[in-house]
Amino acid sequence: MYVYQKMIIVFLILVMPIYGISLVFNWTSMNHLRDEAERSLAKNVSFYTNQLNEQISFIRNLQLQLIHNSDLQSLAFYAGNISGYEEVALVNRIHESLTTIQNASDYVVNAGTYIKSYKHTLSTEMGTSKLPNPEHNMVQALIEQAGEQPIYAWNDRILFIMTGNRGSIVSYLELSKEKLAETISQITGSYQRAGVFMIDDASRIVVQSQSDLADVTALMKGLPKLEEAWRGANYS
């Protein structure tokens, strides 16, 4: 028995260093893989976030140009005091501008404007419609309820809304929720338990990359604390 005990002790003395080296190697490999995954994810976040920011800036610039469009300004100023031919020509050119904006980006699914003095809505989806109409009612309700803000969410729809001439001209662009979700889904790539979501100023989820994120609710509850901590770290 004493011989067997000595053999076991010798065996353990021989095996333990090998086992320890194996553990260290596995731990180092895991850390390396984790670091590589984090670097890859960080690159994806940076690339697709920049890409999305560029698209949003491009769309917003188009919308700003539309607000100052000379045809739109003329129709707003001369509404009710122009001939039928001039009115049709202005309306057609404005529709062409709206179509150009929609075709300029895959993210835009509807481009529209309404002019209070003209009492009509012009959009790529509805054409020319007298006020009030569904699009006008939706946009007006959003402005009245939420005030001026960068992005609006309404019944599963996402819009950029911009006003001009002291609110007498309103431009609105509806974004494709599916296209946005497709873009932000590429940030996490093939990571199984990972997701991305966009929120509005009230911390409401506007778009998310997948609908079954179990931790979204808990994470959303913690956002105010995270934001407060971030601000404290940056402004203290």
Spatial separation of the C-alpha atoms in residues 71 and 90, rounded to whole Å: 6
Q: Report pLDDT for 13.
A: 59
Spatial separation of the C-alpha atoms in residues 123 and 220, rounded to whole Å: 35
Spatial separation of the C-alpha atoms in residues 155 and 201, rounded to whole Å: 17
Spatial separation of the C-alpha atoms in residues 161 and 173, rounded to whole Å: 7
Residue 118 has pLDDT above 90, yes or no: yes
Q: Report pLDDT for 93.
A: 96
Residue 39 has pLDDT above 70, yes or no: yes
40 vs 163, higher pLDDT: 163
Q: Report pLDDT for 236.
A: 35
Residue 157 has pLDDT above 70, yes or no: yes
- Domain 50-176 fold is Beta-Lactamase (3.30.450)
Mean pLDDT of all residues in 194-221: 62
Q: What are the pLDDT digits (tens) for 59-116?
A: 999 999 999 999 999 999 998 788 889 999 999 999 999 999 999 999 999 999 999 9
Q: Report pLDDT for 33.
A: 66
Mean pLDDT of all residues in 143-148: 84
Spatial separation of the C-alpha atoms in residues 125 and 78, rounded to whole Å: 25
Q: Given strand 169-175, what is the order of strands in its sheet?
A: 127-130, 120-123, 108-115, 169-175, 157-164, 152-154
Give the global pTM.
Answer: 0.74
Query: What are the residue ranges of CATH 3.30.450 in the chain?
Result: 50-176
Strand partners, 159: 152, 174
